[in-house]
Each structure stands twice: as C-alpha cells, then as structure tokens.
Chains A and B, each alone.
Chain A
C-alpha cells in the first residue's frame, strides 16, 4: 500500500468536504487554544509559586545559653540535612551591628544597655514545599538551644496551599478540555466518515482492508491536528500581544519583564507541543470514528 496514495486520498477528502473540514479545523484550533491558555495559566501559577517559595527562609533564633561548640555542632547537623542548601550564622554581636543602622532601634538598644538580640541561623532550603518546610521546622525544634523558629509562617503556608489547590483545578480543567476536544473532534470526523460511507462500502466490497480504508482518515486527522495546533499557537500569540499592549498602556505594567530569558525558545516549544497534542487528538478522533463506522 503506497503511502503517497494514502496521502493523496487524505487530501482528496480534505478538498471534497471543505465546510466540514473548516468546522473540524475550527473546533480543533479552539480546543487547542483553550488548552494552551490553561497551560499558560498553569505556567503563571508555577511562577508565582516559585516566587513565594523563594521568599521562604527559615530563621532559627538561638537561646543566649547556647555555647559556641554547641552551636557549631548544630550547624553541622543542619548542613547534613538533605534539603538544606546553605546556613548562615548571625552572632549576637552581628545582629546588633545590623540593627544599629536603624535610628529608632539604636535609641531603644541604648536605653536597654545590654544586647537583647539573639544569635540566629538563616537556612536556605532546596525544595520549599509546605510539607518539606514543616517537617524541617519540627526537626529543628527538637534541639536544645533552639529558641524560636520563623519561616514566613502560616501566610506562606496558606498561599502555597491555595496555589496547589488552583493547580489541581487547572489540571482537572486540562483533562476535561482534552477529553471534550477528543469527543468534539471524533464527532466531526464521524460526520465526515458518515458522508463517505458509500465510498467506504464500495471499498470494502472490492476487498479493501480496514487499514486501507482507515489510512487516509488517520493521515487527515494528524494533518488537521498539526494545522489546528499551528492556528491555536498563532491565536495565543495574538492574545499575548493584546494583553501586553493593554497592560503597558492602561496599567503601566511591562509584561515582558515577567518572561524568562529563553522565552522565544519556550514559545517555539509550546507551539510544537500544541501541534503534537493536535496530532494526537486528530489521530485518536479519527481512530474512534472510523473504527465505529467499520464495525457497523
């Protein structure tokens, strides 16, 4: 079975029912664009999550009774903890130095006469998920000499949990969009297959295998998915341009500043991804609808 013949047959079908093809292409493009928007939303949420997580820093305030060797052994134990990226020790004296820059605080400290500021440890973590941070803080609190532990506390925790929930919603939305796109596309392809049922009947009676009948529809589905992906990517780019113009001129906010350094490469990847998803949707849609027709 020559591939060139199957491709030729696929394009013959494409030209024959132009209106249905346009309808199908429109449905494919819109579904992929919606999917692209949802994925962009997910990307945005991830960025905010990283931003919030970057702000999280665990600070351990040490009791004044803690001796230097005790503190050093404590720092070693902290460095050995798997998630710890770095530890910075701030002695009582350095803390006083840092705070003496502030006029009001300096006056307050002078009145007190002694240094009330505790020594502290600033600890950077690698994976700052709420669970990781909570586990780490609980682990820290078991050590003698640890006074108070601060990590941005409940607020960061709540924001991260909220973001996780939103991401879960976005994932459910993505799955429903993919499923509904497959259903819509499969139904439109069913219409096209139905319109060609007589031709399929003729082919079957003269001995065409299911593969021979299915081939052009699959090629057509993949092609349409790729074009749909390209159109969706184009539409998303237009939406981005409009948003950028609006935010710059109406809100005075430059959205370009939010983009990562390799934004161009990522956009190309996104376009290729949308085309691939389109090809997959087209392929599955064709397989489902032609399979249904062939089983009748």
Chain B
C-alpha cells in the first residue's frame, strides 16, 4: 500500500531529514515509527500526506507515485487519508461535532446522513455526550479524541498519527493508543509516530527506528508484510 524507494529529504539544501529510506507497508498494518527528536519521524508523515515532496526517490501510495499528483488531484488523494496531529489543530470556534463534520462537508455530505456519521464517529471515541462542546471546554485527551473522530469519520484507508500522545499523560495517551488500534480493526492502515518507548513495548506492533534520517532497523514485522 505504501512504498518508499530510496527516498531522501533535504530541507533548504542543508538539513538532511531523511536518507535513503526503503519501506513497504501493507494494507491494514499498524506501524509505529520512533526515534529521537529530529530523527525524521514527522518528515516521513508529511511526505506521506504530501505536504512536502521528497528531494530524491519515489513514494508509491494507493498504487500511484504521489509526486506526480496534479494540484486538482491532491485534495482527492488527501480525502483518503485521516490525520491526527500532536497539537490537535482543531477549529476552536466550532463544536466537537462541527469539527468532525468538516471532513464530511469537504466530501460533499450533508443533512441527516452526515449527522448520523458524525455521531457514530464521536461514539467510537467515546465523546458523544460532549459533541456540542467547543474545544476550549475539553481536556487534552478529549480534544485528541475529537481529532481522531475527525480523521476516521469517513473511514479512510490510511490514518496518519503524528505524536498523537505527545501532549497527553500516560493514561490518556494509552487510551488514545487503544483507539488507534481499534481503527485497524476496520481495515485501516495506521502509521503512528511516538518517542514513548512504553507504548511501543506495550503495543507490540511493527516498529521502525529512525535516527538522523536513517532507518536503523525495525521489529515485530509480521511475516509477509
């Protein structure tokens, strides 16, 4: 589903964020990416969401070279990806359900179907009772769950989570991890970056180790993946 072929990423001709990355992720996998700060974890996520383009190499996702996507194809590509950010990136003047509904609005949904889908997504993350609350009235963990609901409300085949537990305490972070695990049950591929080794140990999922932009190794790779 996701293939990296000798991918390099250099920022402003100087900082080498990723060097010669070769990677293959299958449909329905849960992959964790870890490493110290500046290892290139977020760069990898940004490359997949096509916020940035690689300096060299090829990235194939959904069987297409994403560097060759035309500007008008880019929104369609991104609609197949859910994204969870460490800093939430919610719209603070809208309620939880309005934030979740935004994804569906972009897809052109509306009316009762949309309301039902929003309620279902908020139900999946256990926030249905707070659907009319604005983000300022929610805790960090609750905000992150709204972000997750916004990312999965349209059942995307791929979910990217960039340090989703970075701003949460251990217990709340662990809840988030469990929710992400549940997402794979519906067949969604999840790629999650974290520098929390406890979560990595407890999750026992395929984990990639990045350091100074180099893929140093990986563990728990399922046979055939």
Contacts and interface: CB of A to CB of B under 8 A. Distances in A.
Interface of B is mostly: mixed
B130 interface: no
A5 B76 CA distance: 20
Contacts of A206: 78-79, 82-83, 102-103, 106, 150-151
A212 B51 contact: no
Interface string B122-147: 00000000000000000000000000
B91 A202 contact: yes
Interface in A206-238: 206-210, 212
Interface residues on A, range: 10 to 19
A207 B78 contact: yes
Nearest to B110: A2
Contact of B75 (A12, A16, A207): A207
Contacts of A263: none
Contacts of A212: 75, 106
A5 B94 CA distance: 14
A205 B49 contact: yes
B93 interface: yes
A209 B75 contact: yes
B108 interface: yes
Contacts of A204: 75, 78
Interface residues of B, number: 24
B89 interface: yes
Interface in A178-202: 198-199, 201-202
A203 interface: yes
Interface string B108-124: 10100000000000000
A5 B110 contact: yes
Contacts of B83: 205-206
Interface string A1-33: 110010000001000100000000000000000
Contacts of B102: 203, 206
B93 A208 contact: no
B117 to A, nearest CB: 15
Nearest to B150: A206
A87 B51 CA distance: 79
A208 B107 CA distance: 8
Given A1-B108, A2-B110, A5-B105, A208 B91 contact: no
Interface in B62-119: 71-72, 75-79, 81-83, 89, 91, 93, 102-103, 105-108, 110
Contact of B89 (A1, A202, A210): A202
Interface in B31-77: 49, 51, 71-72, 75-77
Contacts of B150: 206
B88 to A, nearest CB: 10
A25 to B, nearest CB: 21
B56 to A, nearest CB: 24
B75 A198 contact: no
Contact of A16 (B89, B93, B110): B93
Nearest to B76: A207
A205 B51 contact: yes
A210 to B, nearest CB: 8
Contacts of A199: 91
Nearest to A205: B83
A204 B77 CA distance: 11
Contacts of A1: 105, 108
Contacts of B110: 2, 5
21 contacts: A1-B105, A1-B108, A198-B89, A202-B89, A204-B78, A205-B49, A205-B51, A205-B78, A205-B89, A206-B82, A206-B103, A206-B106, A206-B150, A206-B151, A207-B78, A207-B79, A207-B81, A207-B106, A208-B75, A209-B75, A212-B75
Given A198-B89, A205-B49, 18 more contacts: A2-B105, A5-B105, A16-B93, A201-B89, A202-B91, A204-B78, A205-B51, A206-B78, A206-B79, A206-B150, A206-B151, A207-B75, A207-B78, A207-B81, A207-B106, A209-B72, A209-B106, A210-B75
Rank and list the top 4 A-B pairs by shortest CB-CB distance, nearest first: A207-B79, A207-B78, A209-B75, A208-B106
